[in-house]
Amino acid sequence: MRLTVLAAVSLLAVAAAGCTNETLDSFDKVDVDLARVSSKTGYQLSPAVLSKLSSMNIDRSSPMVLRIFKEEGRLELWKSDRTNRFKLVRNYKICAWSGKLGPKTKEGDRQAPEGFYPLSRANMNPNSSYYLAINTGFPNNYDRANKASGTHLMIHGACSSSGCYSMTDEQMVEIFAFARDAFDGGQSAIQLQAFPFRMTAENMARHRNNPNIEFWKMLKVGYDHFEVTKRPPEVNVCEKKYVFNQQADKPFAPAGACPAMTTPAALDVALGSYNKTYAAAYAKAMGKYEGTVWVEPSEAQRKAIVADQRKGRELAYAPTGNSLDAGKLMTEREIEAQKRKAEEAEQRKIAAIERAKQQAEQARLDAEQQKIEEAEALAADVAAVKAQKEARGAGAMPVPEENPGVAVIEKKEKKPFWKLWAKEEAPRSVEPAESVTQGGEQAKLDAGQETRKEARIPTAETATRKVEKPVEGAGTLPVPEENPGVQVVEQTAKKPLWKFWQK
């Protein structure tokens, strides 16, 4: 029944479809002073806003619709007048939205949702960490049917976004008041329509090469229905696709086959006329954009063009510019040249990395070779020293040598005072010792007799003797040499006074 009435009214909208106030370049300034807001959830719309509603034949508590156009960075608030047609009431500039044009498909992709979302009073969050928030309801039936994931995607304040549409706190106070009044007036669900851009012939032609174009063509059907009727379309999902204003005898299953469907006749006629006009406009736009490609900017590029707005603000304040200002329309030749330039830069980067690797490997090999050469040189030095020692010693056992830099001085023993009258005897040279040989038995006997003779004569004179080196030969043992700088003196014990008569 509702669609029948909608179709009857839609014919009246066809003439005005090409001339609406939704393409205004300016944004509305919100006259909200937060310092004077005692309750952010109890804020009442300003007298200026209420006066505007009255002039547009709109009741304060009438139903509303929210429409988002990412590329422009715009959020529109529409309200139903007393003829049940929706009119644009407020035109807000979105402070920040994350990601690029296109739908959200998975948690963490930083994409803000695109599609049709019903918002109930339960979606409103007065206790948000971002001042105030309205949950978009993502994922909806379409998103779930297509395995899209994500949570807590909001329209909120604080001008900082990570997959959300972020407004200023002043804007959120006003939007929250509009939604509260609509729910109080009996509206059960506010429709949120989130589009990448206005689905005009020129925009569709400009974005024809975008990988999301088929998804956007599906959204365009719902966009067209609103443009024709100025009423939010009835949205269902079947075969994992959106369907709009379709009458069916069986229920819709998001992932199941679509039931037999029909479009109300009057609406079908109105859409036919609208689409004919659109086709002509699209052909004209294709002539304009033939051979060109729209280069969609990244989120970082959109932030860069409004970087000056962050100066003097808190760190959390992170506005983003719109895609129209940050994007660029390029010819295919320019795209190819840019692509070649990027490929050459990438090749140079790869070559530089490869050279660095080769240099590092060569440095490693050189260091290893240097270590080997140093080890070989050290081994050669050790071998040379060993050879020199073997040449000097000829295999003999090492004999400690005296230190030539140290002179050994022997002090004479001082005589006690009672021996002052005793005369000193001059030292006598020691006779050279006989050589020791393997057959030196006779020498031993002679030495024994000499020893006994000296023992019998205690007054034998003393003499210094030089020790002769042993004769080299088999079986001889190395004997330490005497220090040539030291004279060895032997003294015999002097006779006591009472033995003076002994010779």
Residues annotated as part of the active site:
156, 164
- Between CA 79 and CA 86 the distance in angstroms is 5
Per DSSP, the three-state class of 382 is helix
**Cβ contacts of 52 within 8 Å, gap of 6 or more:** 89
Q: CA 200, CA 215: separation in Å to the nearest integer?
A: 15
**Separation CA 429–CA 434 (nearest Å):** 15
Neighbours of 197 (CB within 10 A): 19
3-state secondary structure of 154: strand
Phi, psi of 237 (to 5 degrees): -135, 130
Q: What whole-number distance in Å separates Cα of residue 254 and Cα of residue 243?
A: 10
| 21: helix, strand or coil | helix
Angstrom CA distances, 252 to 41, 171, 241, 259, 261, stand at: 37, 37, 11, 7, 10
**Alpha helical stretches, state H, 56-153:** 141-145
Buried b (16+ CB within 10 A) or exposed e, 242-260: bbbbbeeeeebebeeebbe
CA angle 44, 47, 49 (to 5 degrees): 85
User: Sign of torsion, CA 50 85 112 122?
Assistant: positive
- Which DSSP string corresponds to 191-217? EEEEESS---HHHHHHTTTSTTHHHHH
Check whether the bond before 404 is cis (ω within 30° of 0). no
371 and 452 Cβ atoms separated by less than 8 Å: no
Q: Which two tokens stand for residue 138?
A: 């993502």
Q: What does the block give as tokens for 363?
A: 């440095």
Of 215, 257, 216, which Cα lies nearest the Cα of 236?
257
Mapping DSSP to helix (H, G, I), strand (E, B) and coil, where does residue 340 land? helix
The pair of structure tokens assigned to 230 is 């100025």
- Can you read off the two tokens belonging to residue 475? 């079986």
At residue 64, φ and ψ (nearest 5 deg) are -135, 160
Q: Residue 367: how many CB atoms within 10 A of its CB?
A: 10
